[in-house]
Amino acid sequence: MGEVTVQQGKEHQEVLNEAYRRIGRNLFVFQEIELTLKTLLHDGHLQITASQLQRLIAERGAKPDKRTLGQLIDPLIDHHLTPFDPDTIPQKPSNEISISLRVTFKFTLKERESMMKELDDLVTERNELVHTLLLRHRFDTEEGCISACKDLER
- The whole-model pTM stands at 0.68
Give CA–CA dist 153/46, Å, rounded: 38
Closest Cα partner for 141 from 2, 24, 3, 11? 11
Burial, 50: exposed, middle or buried (Cβ in 10 Å; 0-12, 13-18, 19+)?
exposed
List, for residues 90-131, the tens digit of each pLDDT value: 566 667 777 777 788 888 888 888 989 999 999 999 999 999
Whether residue 19 is predicted with pLDDT greater than 90 in this model: the reply is: yes
Phi, psi of 45 (to 5 degrees): -140, 115
List, for residues 39-96, the tens digit of each pLDDT value: 888 778 777 787 877 777 777 666 678 888 888 888 888 877 766 555 555 566 667 7
How many other CB atoms are found less than 10 A from the CB of residue 84?
16
Q: DSSP of the chain, one letter per residue?
A: -PPPP----HHHHHHHHHHHHHHHHHHHHHHHHHHHHHHHHHHSEEEEEHHHHHHHHHHTTSS-----HHHHHHHHHHHHSS---GGGSPPPP-SS-EEEEE------HHHHHHHHHHHHHHHHHHHHHHHTHHHH--TTSHHHHHHHHHHHT-
